[in-house]
Structure 1
Amino acid sequence: MDISIHNELNFKLQEKITNKNLKLEDICKNGLVGNVTIGYLEGKVKVRKSSQSLLKEIALQCEEIQKCYELKDVLEIYNIKSCREAYRAFGHDPSKYKVASESLFRRIVKGKGLYEINNIVEINNLISLKTALPVCAYDREKINGNIIFKLGEENELYEGIGRGHINIYNLPCFYDQLGPFGTTTSDSVRAMITESTRELLLCIVSFHETNKMEEYLNYAKELLILEGNGLQITTKVVK
């Protein structure tokens, strides 16, 4: 399975930079380099209830976030800020359509904690908390053919997990041969992780160029081997 990035996403980011008339140092400072980077991982997993060690690691990370950030500070986290700028470039109000990592951080800072679903969902959330990037986990067997990451089309909807129907127009979306199955705001019911999932596709999305993606993928791989019985895991970075 291959993932490719549609040129329109990078074009819109570059266009946003040009329209802002920013100097190069300002672009770098604000994370607006206009290059989408996706790290993805495929492999066999076993879905089950999360271990106490995994839940403890998540709890420690949540405590650290609560200590370090107030609600207003979340918007200044580098990776979250670059996601918000990208959403603006795509024509969305990032306060209305929040990137998934921001939603996680806001929930934790408010003291609401995270729901316990299963080990793969919890691993997904932990990677997002460690990186402050949107991380998307899918049942690989529910995806048909190769994948393209592009902006959602006009009048296009899908059923989001726990969110009903979502208008995905101009949201960054993953598409397969059957259509859209995930965004960096909310994943779809069609490709969601369930107890019957045997093969995983996990995607880490950055809306600015980063040299840390391999590091993030290695961390994800280690977690999946330790906590998800991960086997035959492969990783790849696309730009």
Structure 2
Amino acid sequence: MKTVSISNKILAACPDLQVAVISACVINSESNLQLWEEISAYEAEFRNNFKIEEINKQAPIRATRLAYKALGKDPNRYRPSSEALCRRILRGLPLYKINTLVDLINLVSLRSGYSIGGFDEDKIQGNLILGVGEANELYHGIGRGILNIEGLPVYRDEISGIGTPTSDEERTKIELDTVHLLMIINGYSGIDGLKEAVIFSIDLLKRYVSAETIECKLIKKGETFDLLLNDD
């Protein structure tokens, strides 16, 4: 598993941030019928239980938006991906169909409210550090073209930025031939709900992409710990 660290600037602006990191060997596919039955069922449940004006009240989404404001970014112009997914569903649009790995990550994000980075670990050069985007920093958001990441939280490897809560970068994106997954769940609201999101993620990874050699880490106040999922 890649080492993930957090810069002092992020720690100062986002004191409640806790990050869960999952690494796994996987077998991806174009689509999975059972997964999409699960996604469709939850989409219907979500539409029945939420209104669009309630989306920003979910603790993980609210905290991510506050992190954007603390770093100088307008969350109404650059929405966190979890918020964008929720709003899409409530506008009557289905989730995107990309590939099984990406689709299941989107389901976790929709259910939990967390913005989640999903990367092909083999494409990451060196380890990762979470910092703040700079002016004119080149970043190609997946399906978005060049994205202005100034003021956004951004994970960088030895080459460049690869992930923000708004969009991941094209260079390290998950594709059909991805066999090593790195998944980062960004808990700007703290630990509440984070372990449950990890447990749900691992369940989906085992059921739909035959995940093996699964490792989980928790980063809290800049320190890294093994994530004990059965620990009270």
TM norm. shorter chain > 0.5: yes
| Change beyond 3 A, Cα 1:120–1:112 | same
Give the SS at the match of 2:196: helix
Equivalent residue in structure 2 for 1:123, among 75, 84, 104: 104
1:87 corresponds in structure 2 to: 68
Structure 1 unaligned segments of length 5 or more: list them.
14-33
1:69-95 CA-to-partner distances (Å, cap 9, x unmatched) read 121111212211111111111111110
2:26 corresponds in structure 1 to: 45
Following the alignment from structure 1 to structure 2, what is the Cα–Cα distance between the partners of residues 61 and 236?
A: 28
2:157 corresponds in structure 1 to: 176
Q: Percent identity?
A: 33
Give the SS at the match of 1:204: strand
Cα pair 2:154 2:162 within 8 Å, conserved: yes
Equivalent residue in structure 1 for 2:113, among 109, 132, 135: 132
Runs of 4+ in 1 over 3 A off after TM superposition: none
Cα pair 1:214 1:237 within 8 Å, conserved: no
For 2:138, the aligned partner's letter is L
Larger Rg: 1
Question: Could you tell me how far 1:204 is from its partner in structure 2?
Answer: 0.4
CA RMSD, aligned part only? 1.1
TM-score, normalised with respect to structure 1: 0.88
TM-score, normalised with respect to structure 2: 0.91
Following the alignment from structure 2 to structure 1, what is the Cα–Cα distance between the partners of residues 196 and 215?
A: 14
2:181 corresponds in structure 1 to: 200
1:29 corresponds in structure 2 to: none
2:204 corresponds in structure 1 to: 223
1:161 corresponds in structure 2 to: 142
For 1:58, the aligned partner's letter is I
Following the alignment from structure 2 to structure 1, what is the Cα–Cα distance between the partners of residues 5 and 203?
A: 25
Cα pair 2:100 2:209 within 8 Å, conserved: yes
- Give the paired residue count: 219
Cα pair 1:137 1:200 within 8 Å, conserved: yes
Give the SS at the match of 1:64: helix
Question: Could you tell me how far 1:212 is from its partner in structure 2?
Answer: 3.2
Structure 2 unaligned segments of length 5 or more: list them.
221-232
Give the SS at the match of 1:185: coil
